[in-house]
Structure 1
Amino acid sequence: MGFANQKERLSPLTGAQIREYGENGYVLLRGGCSHDLIDAFNAHIYTIRSSDDMPDWAKPRAGVVVSPADRFSVRLFNPHRHDGFALQMMKLPVIRGALAQLMGGEACGVQSMYFYKEPGSKGQAAHQDYYYIQNEPRSMIAGYVALERIDEDNGCLRVVPGSHKLGLLPHGAVRNKEEHEPWTDETEGVDLSREIPVVMEKGDILFFHELLVHSSTRNRTKDRWRRSYVCHYIRHDSEITQREDLKKKIRLDD
């Protein structure tokens, strides 16, 4: 799938897709980002993390000597604040357009994360993004760009369709620490047997609601990574209410 002109990029979702998002809490936009752009972005991030002169903002762990294992396993948090390429990836016209269609108004970026998820690494237990990033009025949507094929073998996202209609659910301790990272919290009070995998091809973009229950599983492959670029957005008239580190809003139309 491709978008031939600016008008298509700023209105990439069909009416059926918008209704699908309202019903299920997520929608998958196939081929939203070109392979050439993704290859350039992956190479750019690799160059930053492999450099002997890695800038402080890109280091995996603040104040800690960078180890070979950390360079390409620990996520890169909020690169859009320091790196022009990461900022432009957050502001892709196709993402801006889809968000405006889903939110009913212009969106602003508040957070970005470049995930590696190397072979063997654990996933994140079921959760709702609003639990970690509260905003009012509620409007947050995640834009998840697949930077390579993402499937059940290398730990794709799993979602509970329609769970965004349940409101904010309680979260407690992670139950399966063999499958999931122990430092997060896990959603309680939802039937996780209803989870389904979201298989994505390189260049696909998944948009999902801040209250959608979702998780990821362990990367069970020996030689495949699961790189992705995930940004969170709120409508222009919303504000982050608790996280001081995420209160700066990035306009997408600059």
Structure 2
Amino acid sequence: MNYIKKIASKFWEDGYVILESFFDSELMDNYNSKILDHYGVNPNWEHNNEFISKSAVEVIPWFPYREGKPYFDEIDKHKVFNDITNEILQDNWENLYCMMMFSKAGSKGQAWHQDCPPENPLKYNLNRLVYTHDITDETGGEIVIMPEAHKAGILPVGKPHEDIEGQIVYKPKKGTVIFLHGHCFHRVMPVKKDRISSNFRAVPQGTPEDITDICVYRNMRYKFSTEEVIEERI
């Protein structure tokens, strides 16, 4: 229990915590194959061209549980995974959704963003990122995080992928889990080879189900449900 409390304390200090070798290699290989089977050789983009051009985001999501495909229960129901979540979010937190993310070789990755508007510090999501294969120099797609940005308010206006002083760049290995606050600034670097990550998103009790419908980028706020830019940030 002290171990879990230390993880939660580190999370609230930095806005994220990285746990290497959390899931075993065999499970990750199994899940990686299932995800690749879903996407096939040449999956189609889910977003419209305006979003892709303005956000510098090229990620194809898949929500297996919404399709009645509970393929990933060994993560979703993992006791320690959920005990850590409970210590971070406290009692009666809720699963938001499970999202697989695929980036094609040669794509832009993801620009700096906050998963939900940061104006209310009590309204946020928790990303629980799981990596089913190694992210390396050869694959690209490193995750970039701004430490303590969950306490910094809104992401500053600027170029979508431009470096921010103080950022950390991390290459997760297979089996790594990253717990990441939804208000924390983060991005994914350009992708050289096909890249997969998965996100078992959770929220504190009472958080609206559409908490991640509006995403904050350095140049806009975007509403996914209506596929529109609701604020230009210049």
Asked if these proteins are the same fold (TM beyond 0.5), I'd say yes
Partner AA of 2:134 in structure 1: R
Q: Which runs of 5+ in 1 are unaligned?
A: 1-10, 52-58, 63-72, 181-185, 247-254
**Residue equivalent to 2:194:** 225
Q: Comparing 104-113 with 26-35, which one deviates more in the overlay? A: 104-113
**Residue equivalent to 1:42:** 32
For residue 21 of structure 2, give the secondary structure of its aligned residue in structure 1: coil
Contact 1:79 1:87 (C-alpha < 8 Å) held by counterparts: no
Aligned pairs, number: 201
C-alpha distance in 2, partners of 1:245/1:87?
27
Which of 164, 172, 175 pairs up with 1:203?
175
Q: More strand by proportion, 1 or 2?
A: 2
How far did residue 241 of structure 1 move?
5.2
Following superposition of structure 1 onto structure 2, how do residues 1-254 of structure 1 map, counting pairs within 5 Å?
13-50=3-40, 60=44, 75-82=60-67, 83-86=69-72, 89-131=75-117, 137-151=122-136, 153=138, 154-169=140-155, 175=159, 192-220=164-192, 224-240=193-209, 243=213
Partner AA of 2:152 in structure 1: L
C-alpha change, 1:122 and 1:135, in structure 2 (3 Å) is same
C-alpha change, 1:47 and 1:219, in structure 2 (3 Å) is closer
How far did residue 75 of structure 1 move?
2.1
C-alpha distance in 2, partners of 1:35/1:135?
39
Contact 1:80 1:90 (C-alpha < 8 Å) held by counterparts: no
Provide, for residues 47-78 of structure 1, a one-character-per-residue CA deviation record: whole Å limited to 9, x for no partner.
33349xxxxxxx7467xxxxxxxxxx962322
Provide, for residues 94-140 of structure 1, a one-character-per-residue CA deviation record: whole Å limited to 9, x for no partner.
321111011122332223321222332212111111239x9994242
Q: TM-score w.r.t. structure 1 length? A: 0.66
> What value does the CA root-mean-square deviation take over the aligned residues?
3.3
How far did residue 163 of structure 1 move?
0.9
Q: More helix by proportion, 1 or 2?
A: 1
C-alpha change, 1:236 and 1:203, in structure 2 (3 Å) is same
How far did residue 88 of structure 1 move?
5.3
For residue 126 of structure 1, give the secondary structure of its aligned residue in structure 2: strand
C-alpha distance in 2, partners of 1:139/1:106?
15
For residue 165 of structure 2, give the secondary structure of its aligned residue in structure 1: helix
Contact 2:124 2:183 (C-alpha < 8 Å) held by counterparts: no
C-alpha change, 1:237 and 1:13, in structure 2 (3 Å) is farther
How far did residue 195 of structure 1 move?
1.0
C-alpha distance in 2, partners of 1:165/1:158?
17
**Residue equivalent to 2:55:** none
Q: Comparing 210-219 with 231-240, which one deviates more in the overlay? A: 231-240
Identical positions, percent: 23
C-alpha distance in 2, partners of 1:112/1:143?
9
C-alpha distance in 1, partners of 2:12/2:121?
19
C-alpha distance in 1, partners of 2:117/2:81?
23
